[in-house]
Amino acid sequence: MRPMSYGQQGGPQSQWDPWKPHSQQPWNSGADETPDWAALAEASESRNKRRRLLFIGGGALATVAVGTAVAVAVVSANSNSDDNSPTSGQSGAALPGSTSRAPSFAPTSAPPPLDPKDFISVKSKDTAPLGAQILFPGTQLPAGGAVYKKGPTDDTKSCSAAAKGGLPKILTDNDCTRLLRASYLDGGTAVTVGVAVFDTEAQATKAASKVNPQKDFIRSLSGQGVKGFCNSTVCLMTANSYGRYAYFTITGFTSGKDVTNKDTEVYRTSNNLKDYTFNQIRRRGEAQASAAANE
């Protein structure tokens, strides 16, 4: 835009300052001069044209800047994607120095296993069927390297009737409710096993502790191929308890011979049947514990 000049009238010159208050434009009052409207129009057009160029140029620069930013963002995204992609020879494990938090789970604990003995220590829990044929099944018993033939069995609620010596009183005093017996034979050696049933473990334990094996014993059971034994001869007798059961053995010869310390086959037979009876009572508890756990 070029500067503009106006004609002046005689007298002191008045300077117009557009930014100074009360300043006057120096019009020549004496001459009939008018502003150069063509020059003003040309200057205005030139100014507007330059503004349009600046605006267009600025818009182009902005477009270039936005395009550059997008390109940088795309390259950056591609770079990050490549860095995070697994490459051959690398595993998915955490890198050295990095931390990986293991998943956490609520603490749990398995329920305690059921104790089989609990089910055979009191009448209210020991509800499985019981009988001489259940406790002593089959017709023969392999045990300890021998095979014992099973003879007669007996099941009575009169505990004292199946006992001798001081055992009838012991059983009665501790409230024995049932006595089951079975006899086994191996050659000339016979054994009768007796199991006395009580309501509680305490009663069975007390009864067994009161027994003197030399004079308190069960009656031997004969029949079904088993000759009478231990009626008036020296025999080997034992007494034990487990849970609410007290169990006894009486072992001797069917020939009427007295048992001595040298008769190892008698001791072996007594131990085999004693262990078998204990295992049968224990299995009874295990079976009931297993059934209760699966309910």
44 in any annotated domain = no
185 in any annotated domain = yes
33-49 residue pLDDT tens: 555 555 655 666 666 55
228 in any annotated domain = yes
pLDDT, position 113: 81
208 in any annotated domain = yes
What is the Cβ-side half-sphere exposure of residue 281, based on CA atoms within 13 angstroms? 25
Torsion, Cα 47 53 54 56, to 10 degrees, reads 140
Cα Rg for the chain, rounded, in angstroms? 58
pLDDT, position 45: 61
Question: How much of the chain is helix, strand and coil, in % rounded to 5?
Answer: 35, 20, 45
138 in any annotated domain = yes
Torsion, Cα 170 172 174 179, to 10 degrees, reads 90
| Residue 192 structure tokens | 């009768």
CA pseudo-torsion sign 63, 68, 69, 73: positive
SS3 144: coil
Using alpha carbons, list the distances in angstroms from residue 265 to 1, 145, 187, 190, 277.
139, 11, 10, 10, 18
Percent of the chain with pLDDT over 70: 62
pLDDT, position 10: 41
Looking up tokens 């078998």, which residue turns up?
Answer: 276
Spatial CB neighbours of 28, under 8 Å, sequence gap ≥ 6:
6, 7, 8, 9
Distance CA(254)–CA(271), nearest Å, equals 18
97 in any annotated domain = no
pTM assigned to the model: 0.63
Query: Position 219: which residue type?
Result: R
pLDDT in tens, the chain (295 residues): 434 444 444 444 444 454 445 544 444 444 445 555 556 556 666 665 555 544 444 444 444 444 444 444 444 444 444 444 433 333 333 333 344 455 555 555 555 688 999 999 999 999 999 999 999 999 999 998 999 999 999 999 999 999 999 999 999 999 999 999 999 999 999 999 999 999 999 999 999 999 998 899 999 999 999 999 999 999 999 999 999 999 999 999 999 999 999 999 999 999 999 999 999 999 999 999 999 998 7
113 in any annotated domain = no
Query: By C-alpha distance, which of 4, 49, 7 is closest to 28?
Result: 7
Looking up tokens 């191929």, which residue turns up?
Answer: 225
266 in any annotated domain = yes
179-226 residue pLDDT tens: 999 999 999 999 999 999 999 999 999 999 999 988 999 999 999 999
Q: How many domains does the chain have?
A: 1
pLDDT, position 292: 92
In this structure, are residues 43 and 1 in contact, taking their beta carbons and an 8 Å threshold?
yes
Domain limits at 150? 132-281
pLDDT, position 106: 57
Looking up tokens 């003879």, which residue turns up?
Answer: 151
Query: Position 103: which residue type?
Result: P
In this structure, are residues 206 and 200 in contact, taking their beta carbons and an 8 Å threshold?
no
